[in-house]
Amino acid sequence: MTKKPLIIIAAGGTGGHMFPAQALAEEMIERGWQVRLSTDARGKRYASDFPKDVTIDTVRASTFSRGGLKGKIFAPILIFQGVIDALRSMRKQKPRVIVGFGGYPAVPALLAGGIRKIPRIIHEQNGILGRVNKLFSKKVCSVACGSWSTQLPKNVKAEYVGNPVRSKVLQYKNSPYTPPGNWPLSLLVIGGSQGSSIVSKTTAEAITLLPEYLRINLRVACQVRKEDMAAVEKIFLGSNVSFEIEEFFQDVPLRISQAQLVISRSGASSIADISIIGRPSILIPFAAATGDHQTANSQGLVKAGAANIISENKLTPEILAENIIKILSSDEIASNMAKRALMMGKPNAVNELADLIEANAKDEL
**pLDDT over 80 at 364, yes or no:** no
Give the per-residue pLDDT at 277. Answer: 98
* pLDDT tens digits for range 265-321: 999 999 999 999 999 999 999 998 888 899 999 999 999 999 999 999 999 999 999
Q: Calculate the alpha carbon distances from 292 to 128, 196, 359 in Å.
A: 8, 16, 33
CATH number (3.40.50.10490, 2.40.170.20, 3.40.50.2000, 1.10.287.70) of 170-344 reads 3.40.50.2000
Contact 166, 54 (CB under 8 A): no
Q: What's the average model confidence in pLDDT over 135-163?
A: 92
The region, left, alpha or beta by phi > 0 then psi within -120 to 50, assigned to residue 85 is alpha
Q: At what angle do helices 317-328 and 197-207 cross, to 10 degrees?
A: 60
- Sheet-wide strand order for 307-309: 242-246, 218-223, 185-190, 261-264, 281-283, 307-309
pLDDT at position 64 over 70: no
Residue 63 has pLDDT above 90, yes or no: no
Q: Looking at per-residue confidence, does 72 or 49 come out higher?
A: 49
| CA dist., res. 140 & res. 121, Å (int) | 6
Predicted confidence (pLDDT) per residue in 186-227, tens digit? 999 998 777 789 999 999 999 999 999 999 999 999 999 999
Q: How far apart are CA 67 and CA 264, in angstroms?
A: 29
Beta carbons of 295 and 314 less than 8 angstroms apart: no
CATH 3.40.50.2000 location in the chain: 6-165+347-360, 170-344
Pairing of strands 120-124, 34-39: unpaired
Cα–Cα nearest to 189, from 104, 101, 248, 118: 248
Query: What average pLDDT is seen over the chain?
Result: 93
> Which pLDDT score is estimated for 291?
85
For position 348, what pLDDT does the model report?
96
What is the C-alpha to C-alpha distance for residues 38 and 11, in angstroms, rounded to an integer?
A: 6
- Check residue 151 and give its pLDDT: 86
Give every CB contact of residue 109 below 8 A, 6+ residues apart in sequence: 8, 10, 38, 59, 86, 98, 100
What pTM was computed for the model? Answer: 0.89
pLDDT at 247: 93
- Residues of the chain above pLDDT 70, percent: 95
- What digits encode the pLDDT tens for the residues 167-178? 999 999 989 999
Q: List pLDDT tens digits, range 68-94.
A: 555 566 778 888 888 999 999 999 999
Dihedral pair phi/psi, residue 51, rounded to 5°: -55, 145
Question: Roughly what angle, to the nearest 10 degrees, separates helices 349-360 and 15-30?
Answer: 70
Chain centroid, CA 115 distance in Å:
30
Share of the chain above pLDDT 90, in %: 80
How confident is the model over 225-247, as a mean pLDDT?
Answer: 95
Spatial distance between the Cα atoms of 350 and 20, rounded to a whole number of angstroms: 8
Helices 268-277 and 293-303, packing angle to 10 deg: 20
Q: What is the reported pLDDT for 25?
A: 98
Residue 78 DSSP label? H
Cα separation, 82 vs 78, whole angstroms: 6
Right CATH for 6-165+347-360 from 3.40.50.2000, 2.60.40.420, 3.40.190.10, 3.40.50.300: 3.40.50.2000
pLDDT tens by residue, 102-134: 999 999 999 999 999 999 999 999 988 999 999
